[in-house]
Amino acid sequence: MKVLMKGNEALAEAAIRAGCRHFFGYPITPQTELAAYMSKRMPKIGGTYLQAESEVAAINMVLGASAAGVRAMTSSSSPGVSLKGEGISYMAGSDLPALIINVQRGGPGLGGIQPSQADYWQATKATGHGDFHILVLAPSTVQEMVDLVSDAFDLADQYRMPAMILADGMLGQMMEPVSLPEEAGKPLPAKEWAASGHQGARPHHIINSLYLTPDKLEQLVQDRFARYEQIKQKEQRAEEYLTDDADVVVVAYGASSRVARGAVNKAREQGLKVGLVRPITLWPFPVDALRKAASHAKAMLVVEMSMGQMVDDVKLAVECKTPVHFFGRTGGMIPTPAEVLEQIEKLV
């Protein structure tokens, strides 16, 4: 059965159904409904909703709850995610899983409150200091928000690292019909490493990111990067839409991919051979799908709600063998299908 849900609320309900009972957050637009939904639901199911004193505190509460071995999450929007960078880095350095949701708005600084994709660099390159990655998943529909929340928790647990859902104010605020998974549909993975009290039955566990001996720290980081390599091999995801015969391949994720799809459909109506690659994982970046699409394309067009933060990743993926162009709007402006179509027409 499908229900009509707002993106932010769907993210929250999906997290609960994925077994999350611990939410720590701080108010910020445009993710407000997510926290509000949690504050309503969590007390009814024996969970924790805690409004922290800051984003910094909230992410560190997530760190603590995750260290205790439970599924924990926080949600925020761009300026708040900057504050969470500290805790995300510590969790990466302590091999702790968690879910962070970013319902992006315009930046930099206080920016605006309209939809944006200007945190791509932050999410995929530098959520915090140090050598590390987090998993970044980018939904483009409310249904996909539901599906990816569950996947993000599973991947975070499997690889013991933080995962982020990179959404935006448009997806967070829009309503679409969704089908929700069964509650507690599957058992949660055991976490033998957790700091849950040794009960006199094992040596003590230390959840830690401090290593003062350089060769030890180097080894740990290298081990983590070996794990990242596995993830790059196994976990890339992208949707390929009408790419088989495409001369022009549009590349867009999240909200801007909805616009891009509209433009691609219009181009096809005109008989133009245009397709779309929609990255679903932003880290690991879906290099394989892009390479495949680029192998016969004459041009690529990256469409974003930013100044073109994903462009370099696309160029690297196709090794600059195919020209990569860009069209984007930023500051909370949303490109229209007509604008994108105009860019496509220039490239055909």
Q: Which residues bind another protein (CB under 8 A)?
A: 22, 24, 48, 50, 52-54, 56-58, 60-70, 72, 86-87, 90, 94, 195-201, 204-210
What does the alpha-carbon distance between residue 24 and residue 137 come to, in Å, rounded to a whole number? 20
Contact 173, 7 (CB under 8 A): yes
Q: Considering the complex, state which of residue 204 and residue 226 has its C-beta at the smaller distance from another protein.
A: 204
Q: Considering the complex, state which of residue 196 and residue 222 has its C-beta at the smaller distance from another protein.
A: 196
Q: Considering the complex, state which of residue 208 and residue 233 has its C-beta at the smaller distance from another protein.
A: 208
The residue among 76, 62, 74, 73 whose CA lies nearest residue 28 is 76
Q: Considering the complex, state which of residue 196 and residue 230 has its C-beta at the smaller distance from another protein.
A: 196
What does the alpha-carbon distance between residue 116 and residue 335 come to, in Å, rounded to a whole number? 11
Between CA 178 and CA 188, with CA 183 as vertex, the angle to 5 degrees is 120
**CB 109 to another protein: min, Å:** 21
Between CA 58 and CA 247, with CA 139 as vertex, the angle to 5 degrees is 145
Per DSSP, the three-state class of 222 is helix
**CB 39 to another protein: min, Å:** 14
**CB 329 to another protein: min, Å:** 36
**CB 66 to another protein: min, Å:** 7
Q: Which helix (H) or strand (E) holds 176?
A: strand 175-178
**CB 204 to another protein: min, Å:** 5
* Backbone φ, ψ for residue 6 (5° rounding): -75, 145
Q: Considering the complex, state which of residue 80 and residue 106 has its C-beta at the smaller distance from another protein.
A: 80
**CB 196 to another protein: min, Å:** 6
What does the alpha-carbon distance between residue 48 and residue 83 come to, in Å, rounded to a whole number? 22
Q: Considering the complex, state which of residue 63 and residue 324 has its C-beta at the smaller distance from another protein.
A: 63
What does the alpha-carbon distance between residue 283 and residue 133 come to, in Å, rounded to a whole number? 8
141 CB contacts (<8 Å, ≥6 apart)?
A: 171, 176, 258
Chain mean position to CA 183: 23
Q: Considering the complex, state which of residue 24 and residue 327 has its C-beta at the smaller distance from another protein.
A: 24
**CB 43 to another protein: min, Å:** 13
